[in-house]
Amino acid sequence: MTTVVTDNCQKCRFTDCVAVCPVECFHYDDDMLYIDPNVCIDCSACIPECPVQAIFEEDDLPEDKKHWIEINATRAPQLPGCSDPMEPLPGALERKAALGF
């Protein structure tokens, strides 16, 4: 079991999740955040923090988002860690509205 960031994070990257991560398992690129499954302790603290519901427990992933397990596992270790919240990406609020949140 792990916890997975999915496509709703793209172009948003609000990082509210990062503030409550007890183990600093988030990483980031110019597009979104990723969780390192080898560091995450499955506490799920981040899930309710996401304003666009991008984060899922692995078991709860919809079928069409399951490929994000692999993407998080591959990408996270290659990228810089994100241990403190950052400014959301430009246009994040518009993207959030477009996603219906």
If one asks whether residue 10 binds another protein (CB under 8 A), the answer comes out as: no
**Residue 26 forms beta bridges with which residues?**
35
Q: Which is nearer to another protein, 42 or 94 (CB)?
A: 42
Q: What dihedral angle (degrees, nearest 10) is formed by the CA atoms of 78, 79, 84, 87?
A: -160
If one asks whether residue 22 binds another protein (CB under 8 A), the answer comes out as: yes
Angle 94-32-48 from CA coordinates, rounded to 5°: 75
Give the one residue of 10, 53, 61, 79 binding another protein; rule: CB under 8 A.
53
Q: Which is nearer to another protein, 43 or 98 (CB)?
A: 43
The nearest distance, CB 13 to another protein, in angstroms, is 17
Q: Could you give the CA distance from residue 74 to residue 80 in angstroms, rounded to a whole number?
A: 13
If one asks whether residue 70 binds another protein (CB under 8 A), the answer comes out as: no
